[in-house]
Amino acid sequence: MKFGRHLGRKARRWLLIAAGVALALTALINNWVINNTYSYITEDWALLPDTDTGLVLGTSTLTRGGEPNPQFKGRIQAAAQLYQAGKIKHIIASGANPNSNYNEPRAMRRELIKAGVPGQAIIMDFAGFRTFDSVARAQAVFGLDSITIITQRYHAYRAVFIAKKLHLKVAAYAAPGEEPSLFTRTMVREYFARVKAVLDIYVLRTAPKFLGTPQRVDTGGPTAEPDNP
């Protein structure tokens, strides 16, 4: 019994050490991602370079409580503002569409048109299943070498980090919308998503889930659907 208790205490100690190391690594990686990208993100559209294409990253139109999502609204507002100011000429609305009742690109296109962006300036990317896919497809499918990313600041750090490591010329416009607090579910998820982005790039060598047929932004149609959804 004494031997068993000793092993139990030792196992708990090693588990605590492992958890501490994991948390420290997570904090270090998050600091690296933020410090590496902070200067590429602005809330002032006048400071952005003129770029042919803006990439709007998808999110739900509604919150978990069923209310209109201020982050979705903010991204639409920001993208429309950049288009109308002449900072971008085309918009890729990139997001997920897991079923007929949930389609982020179509929802973004609908609201962008309501905000005054002409339909022919909007390209829907239905294979933006996650941030990595949206950014990587901008390069691999749409043939872009520079983009303006449009999303909230907390999310832009990760998106810009991915774009930089894929050797894209990138800037980001921090869209209005409530930034999540430090220990909310959204923010905790983002901490670990940043770690996953680093692993995707440096360890796993991840590719987008779907690539499909290359499509030029200036001559393509309104959609870019995966070949094998």
Tell me which long-range contacts 210-214 makes (C-beta under 8 A, separation of at least 24): 210/127, 210/133, 211/137, 211/140, 211/141, 212/127, 212/141, 213/141, 214/140, 214/141, 214/142, 214/143
Q: Each residue of 28-54: pLDDT tens digit?
A: 999 999 999 999 999 999 999 999 999
178: tokens are 């409530």
Fold of the CATH domain 34-224? Rossmann fold (3.40.50)
* Inter-residue contact 112 to 99 (CB < 8 Å): no
Q: Please say whether the beta carbons of 56 and 156 come within 8 A.
A: no
Percent share of the chain, pLDDT over 90: 77
Q: How far apart are CA 36 and CA 41, in angstroms?
A: 11
Cα–Cα distance list, 61 to 6, 76, 96, 108, 219 (Å): 53, 11, 12, 9, 29
Model confidence band, residue 219 (pLDDT cutoffs 50, 70, 90):
very low
Nearest Cα to 25, choosing from 182, 162, 192? 192
Question: What is residue 89's DSSP assignment?
Answer: S
Could you give the CA distance from residue 207 to residue 226 in angstroms, rounded to a whole number? 14
Average pLDDT over residues 136-158: 97
Q: Give the model's pLDDT for residue 83.
A: 98
pLDDT above 80 for 130: yes
Token look-up 């639409």 returns 76
pLDDT tens-digit series, residues 187-199: 999 999 999 999 9
Kindly indicate the confidence band of residue 228, based on its pLDDT and cuts at 50, 70 and 90: very low
Domain residue spans in the chain?
A: 34-224
The model carries a pTM of 0.89
Residue 201 has which token pair? 């790039």
202 dihedral zone (left: phi>0; alpha: psi -120 to 50; beta): alpha
**Is pLDDT above 50 for 3?**
yes
Residues 96-124, buried b or exposed e (16+ Cβ, 10 A)?
bbeeeeebbbebbbbbbeeeebeeebbbb
Mean pLDDT of 140-160: 97
Which tokens go with 69?
């999502």
- The pLDDT of residue 10 is 77
- pLDDT tens, position by position, 65-100: 999 999 999 999 999 999 999 999 999 999 999 888
Q: What is the mean pLDDT of residues 130-147?
A: 97
Q: Is the pLDDT of residue 61 over 70?
A: yes
Residue 21 predicted with pLDDT over 70? yes
